Amino acid sequence: MAEFKSNNFEQSILSPHSAGEVYVCDDVVALPVTLALADIAKVGYLPAGCVPIDVVAIADELDEHATDTLTFSVGMLNDDEDGLVAAETFITGAQADTDPTVTRAAGAGLKGITPNKTTDRMLGIKITAAGATKAAGNIRVIMTYRASEYGA
C-alpha cells in the first residue's frame, strides 16, 4: 500500500471560533500512474470538536480504459491510517472515468460521524478498485465543516 499526501496536508488547520461559522478544507493530491488497490491519500484534517457539512471530490480521469474499473472512497482515516472508518465514509464507489468527475457525499456517512472533542482527524481517499489503463492525475477534495456544539 502506497501513501500520498495533498498539497496542504502539512499546513495548520483552522477551527471555527463561534457558532454558525463554516470553514473549508480544500486540498488536491497528485496521484501517479502506479496508483494501486488499497493505496491511501491523506487530503486534510477535520479539527477536534467539528463535524463535516459536505464533502465533494473532483477527480481527473485516472483510468483511461473503455470500461473504467478504478474506484475510490473518501472518509475519515482509521487510527492505523490504512483504511477508512466504515460509518464515517462520505463517498463510496466514486469513479474517475471522465475529466473531471465530480462526486458529492451521501447523507449516511455525514450522519454517522461522531465528533471527537480532543483530537484532529485525518480525511483520506482509499483506492477500492484498481484501474485497467492507469493514468496519473489529481483528486481535489473539498470538505466544509462547523463546530459540533452548534447543533450536532
Q: What is the CATH number of domain 3-8+21-147?
A: 2.60.120
d(CA 67, CA 16): 43
Query: Which residues neighbour 132 within 8 Å (Cβ) at sequence distance 6 or greater?
Result: 63, 65, 67, 68, 69, 70
**Contact status, residue 50 vs residue 142, Cβ threshold 8 Å:** no
Question: So where are the chain's domains?
Answer: 3-8+21-147
Instruction: Give yes or no for residue 152 having a pLDDT over 60.
Output: no
d(CA 109, CA 132): 28
Q: Which three cell numbers stand for residue 74?
A: 473518501
What pLDDT does 108 receive? Answer: 67
9-64 pLDDT, tens per residue?
666 677 777 767 889 999 999 999 999 999 999 999 999 988 899 999 999 999 88
Region 88-112 average pLDDT? 83
**Mean pLDDT score of the chain:** 87
Query: CB 100: neighbour CB atoms within 10 A?
Result: 14
What pLDDT does 91 receive? Answer: 94
d(CA 71, CA 115): 27
For the entire predicted model, the pTM comes to: 0.91
**Contact status, residue 7 vs residue 27, Cβ threshold 8 Å:** yes
